[in-house]
Amino acid sequence: MRRNNRFTQIQSVNSVIRVLIFRQGKAETSVIPLSDSIRAHRTPWVTYVLLALNIGIYALTAVFGLVDYDQVIQTYGLIPFRVMRSFDAEAVTDLISSLFLHGSLLHLGGNMLYLWIFGDNVEDALGHMGYLIFYLIGGLLASAAHVLVNPTSMLPTIGASGAIAAVLGAYLVLYPASQVRTLIPLGFFVRIALLPAALVLGLWFVLQLFEGFLAVGANADVGGVAIWAHVGGFVIGALLARFIVPSRSRKRG
């Protein structure tokens, strides 16, 4: 039975690699995590609040139309050129407020799914206040990475993905042997497999990095995904977790 399980996992790994390659690096829409094998020992209140804030803000603005959402994005989104021109209190506010705005239900749903699955475990390791500070610092520095790569862009950048990328980086360091229950689309069929977190998150990062290098030199005002916020957030999260949490406290499975 153990050999059969191992063979099944190897087949699943091969399927994941093929899907990621043929989808040209769109890992966030190709391989969908459903849950992980690590259970938190404390209630993740901060993760719950972050989920509620992101969903609530999107509902009150974009869904119910209580305000002009386009104006909200222009006012509170992160515009790299504006930050580079004058790094003042307003720029810092934009760096934070942009983390709680999303452009569509798909954008919101994808970010919240990753936060729901991986955030509780990172909060468990860092504690409530430590996790909140980590999340905000990770998001700020991820946004800073995007600004530095695209300093002249006038396009507003929104979304929690930079902060969540930091959560993913920290999760990989803290729980390297964790297993992730993953949905793998294979044409007209889907497969659910239990895969190592190191594979799921490691490939996600490699493909973000690959897309980031492909995007270097492209027109920053065309639109799309802030790839370097993902890359920067992941690296920052991994480094912070490595230095904050003692190695003996990290989980191996």
Higher per-residue confidence, 22 vs 243: 243
**In the 8-state DSSP scheme, what is residue 222?**
S
Q: What pLDDT, on the 0 to 100 scale, is given for residue 245?
A: 79
Q: Which of 128, 236, 117 is nearest to 173 (CA)?
A: 236
Distance CA 64, CA 123 (A): 31
Q: What is the mean pLDDT of the chain?
A: 83
Q: 83: which 2 tokens?
A: 């930050």
19-28, 102-111, 136-145: least confidently modelled range = 19-28
Higher per-residue confidence, 59 vs 26: 59
pLDDT band at 189 (very low <50, low <70, confident <90, very high): confident
Q: What pLDDT, on the 0 to 100 scale, is given for residue 216?
A: 66
pLDDT band at 248 (very low <50, low <70, confident <90, very high): very low
pLDDT band at 185 (very low <50, low <70, confident <90, very high): confident
CA atoms within 13 A on the CB side of 166: 28
CA distances from 12 to 16, 43, 176 (A): 6, 32, 18
**In the 8-state DSSP scheme, what is residue 250?**
S
> Regarding the domain delimited by 39-249, which CATH topology (the fold level of the hierarchy) does it fall under?
Rhomboid-like fold (1.20.1540)
Q: What pLDDT, on the 0 to 100 scale, is given for residue 69?
A: 82
Q: What pLDDT, on the 0 to 100 scale, is given for residue 125?
A: 93
Helix (H, G, I), strand (E, B) or coil at 33: strand
Q: Which of 217, 243, 218, 215 is nearest to 230 (CA)?
A: 215
